[in-house]
A and B are shown apart, each in its own frame.
Chain A
């Protein structure tokens, strides 16, 4: 087993990892990005639609993936595809495997950018048979856009968020018909224009208050059973079903490493500098909050680059119990808020916070308190906060946090 050293090891060549690698390589650090897929770019690789990058609707996913990759390589980052980070070999060292076999890579800083994935059918405990024709959006998009595979003729999409509409577009691009989008929510969670477009232009029903209760068919899917919240049931004949959304962080490495996870996001807990619980280990992108946009992920990658650089300059880089590694205090989002990221806070933090709500909230106001002491009050820019869409909180109040105090709570009215 061979062993090498670099300054920064980035795990995952999606938008977050590539953005971090670009900036760090520009400053002269020896950066290596590991990507287990055969080509870099992460999820945008297989998103054919436009809307990637900072300029609105600027690039398609694959174009955006190429752009970020070229920037990282041009900046001097080493990019190795087809290499999997298997496990930790030390506080900031990883065991990897690729065509060259098993290697150990040690670094002064590790950036986890391992992304997120959709929960598949089984994890959602949808009963029934186990026929072919059951997809997640990730698999569907790769099948259609990367491999040109046949996916069936009639598809039911489970979910009605932004990603569900992207899945519907992929189904249509493959020449198949979208039977319906089905959501348990009482109102469609996607932007109203998106839902209208599906209903009017594509004549695709968006069924709200509806649960998929069973998959039918042997060999190939023949239909899905659905139940409306008023008790009515029906069978939607289809040969394809796509389970969309319900993202979970791909946190295997974080968990294997014993990093502290946030109970709300189930990704590694991080402070505003995107530092995890282990000195020298950072986390960026969708593994922190499954999921936000690719642009958000890239912004976080860039943001973390500053903290990584500081760590490389000031940090001991060797002592895992380094007192210079600020822990911060926990930042907790109270129901009906589902999660907040970052989810630890230090007085120096400047990165805005991303939240999600479980319920629609008209004219929401966010309150930040610590030990009963009010720190901040903020009216949200959005008129109504809705599930499956981000809600933001500025970091203008973090200097008021007592680093020796109790957890900071965020509530909403």
Chain B
């Protein structure tokens, strides 16, 4: 198993280099790990997997009911959703099938609901149902006044995006993929059939290149001579509410998209919080992941209408992510066989749902560039730490605590994270390199006190492991 974060990159050429260890890049690397004869590198600019767009999304496993019918995205979301649901179940990735309600607040939205139901059918999703106000309020008694009806989409689920990305990365690394962190690709060229990827850690050579660089996919694409799309970072600010808010909402409450734009959603999370967001701000700065006073104010105004009691609860966290929006309505996935190159661009928030199907699709495209995948084998299944609230947490499992009392010693009290879980994460195959990385793997410090009680203790455990 090879994970590097410093030092010179290996000299010898890889068969495939995947640039970008977000949820899509990790899924592709994991898929390629099924072929033991391939030498695969997963190259990431930052110090952890899933550090870009993947870590700051709305954490929804979509059905694809509202995709553009007939698009590549529609197909990959549909297939990917099924595959990810099965994969999550066997890998202990938290998923809750809570269903979604598209809530109509005015007549324009109300008349849009049957149209959306029709679109769902064209996307091969047949389970939607229109609800009148009585049914709607029976399902969501804390909903603000004035809702006229809703479209129920029972298949929509919530998922842990970090665990998903990490599970892919762990399986990829265990399957022989080399993960190189802190290796931003600053320039790319190709000579004698070999891609040369320049990074501050030296040049990485690969015969095939997969561009899963997310926000930076257009830059990398251009350096290989293509001008197919431009990424306009679209910022989404999100507010995570205290666990006490979880009882206020039963479904994902989705806005009804209309000509006037898309509103915000209110959704439970698998960790037992409630999300409000996202904003949608088109920016030109690909690093502008800060929240703004105006954005938070607007979200709270919209949240007040949807679920008034939510505003009474404390805010646990605020974050902002950038979606890799392009000028196109569909994913920009393209093979350039002559260059031994596949672009995986324009992957929007549905990328999490579609990730496994994208990986399959991209592997097919790679084979189409003449890459000999060689023999295939099943991967060793992965069991992830159970971070979700829908299944018993480690401290709640008597057999686990009896076998190892460290699972009964809680360090992070708000999120009930035990010393055993922190130890496991620090010793994992893709270990965290920052306290934020440890938080995403364990939830330590992710709770309402944000470290008031446990911050120093968690840091002490982290620093001890670095020595």
* Contact yes or no, A99 B410, CB < 8 A: no
Which among A117-125, A173-181, A298-306, A308-316 touches the partner chain? Answer: A117-125
Q: A123-B314, A125-B315, A132-B435 are in contact. Are A101 and B459 (CB under 8 A)?
A: no
The interface residues of chain A lying within 8 Å CB-to-CB of B434 are 132
Contact with A along B382-404 (1 / 0, CB 8 A): 00000000000001101001100
CB of A413 closer than 8 Å to a CB of B: no
Is B463 in contact with A149, judged by CB distance below 8 angstroms? Answer: yes
List, in ascending order, chain A residues with CB within 8 A of B292's CB.
127
| Complex: A117 Cα to B242 Cα, angstroms | 15
Task: Check if A52 is an interface residue, CB within 8 A of chain B.
Answer: no
Q: Are B314 and A248 in contact (CB under 8 A)?
A: yes
- B419–chain A nearest beta-carbon distance, Å: 10
Interface residues of A in 106-161 (CB under 8 A from B): 117-123, 125, 127-130, 132, 135-136, 138-139, 142-143, 146-147, 149
Verify B398–A1 contact, CB threshold 8 A.
yes
* Residues in B413-466 with C-beta less than 8 Å from chain A: 413, 416, 434-436, 448-453, 455-457, 459-460, 463
Q: Mark B132-155, 1 if CB is under 8 A from A, else 0.
A: 000000000000000000000000
Return chain A residues, CB-CB under 8 Å to B456. Answer: 139, 142-143, 146-147, 149
B290→A97 contact, CB < 8 A: no
Collect the chain A residues with CB atoms within 8 Å of residue B436's CB. 130, 132
**CA gap between A117 and B317 in the complex, in Å:** 16
Contact of B449 among A98, A101, A120 (CB under 8 A): A120
Q: What's the tally of chain B residues with a CB closer than 8 Å to chain A?
A: 43
**A interface majority secondary structure:** mixed
| A128-B408 in contact (CB<8A) | no
- Is A100 part of the contact surface with B, judged by Cβ < 8 Å? yes
Q: Mark B271-292, 1 if CB is under 8 A from A, else 0.
A: 0000000000000000101111
Q: Distance in Å from the Cβ of A399 to the closest Cβ of chain B? A: 37
List chain A residues, Cβ under 8 A from B290: 127-129, 214-215
Q: How far is the CA of A162 from the CA of B236 in the complex (A)?
A: 38
Q: Which of B289, B293, B409 contacts A99 (CB 8 A)?
A: B409
Q: How far is the CA of A213 from the CA of B296 in the complex (A)?
A: 12
| Distance in angstroms between the alpha carbons of A321 and B292 in the assembled complex | 50
Known: A97-B410, A102-B398, A128-B290. A117 touches B459 (CB 8 A): no
Flag if B314 contacts A36 (CB, 8 Å): no
Task: Say how far B329's CB is from chain A's closest CB, in angstroms.
Answer: 31
Asked if B91 is at the interface of the complex by the 8 Å CB criterion, the answer is: no
Residue A218, interface by CB 8 Å: yes
Task: Check A149 against B459 for contact (C-beta < 8 Å).
Answer: yes
Q: Tell me which of B318, B402, B408 contacts A98 (CB under 8 A).
A: B408
Interface residues of A (CB under 8 A from B): 1, 36-37, 82, 84, 86, 97-102, 117-123, 125, 127-130, 132, 135-136, 138-139, 142-143, 146-147, 149, 213-215, 218, 248, 255
Instruction: List 20 additional A-B contacts (Cβ < 8 Å) besides A99-B408, A129-B289, A215-B290.
Output: A37-B453, A86-B416, A101-B401, A102-B408, A120-B449, A120-B450, A122-B450, A123-B316, A132-B436, A135-B451, A136-B450, A136-B452, A139-B451, A139-B453, A142-B456, A147-B457, A147-B460, A149-B460, A214-B293, A255-B244
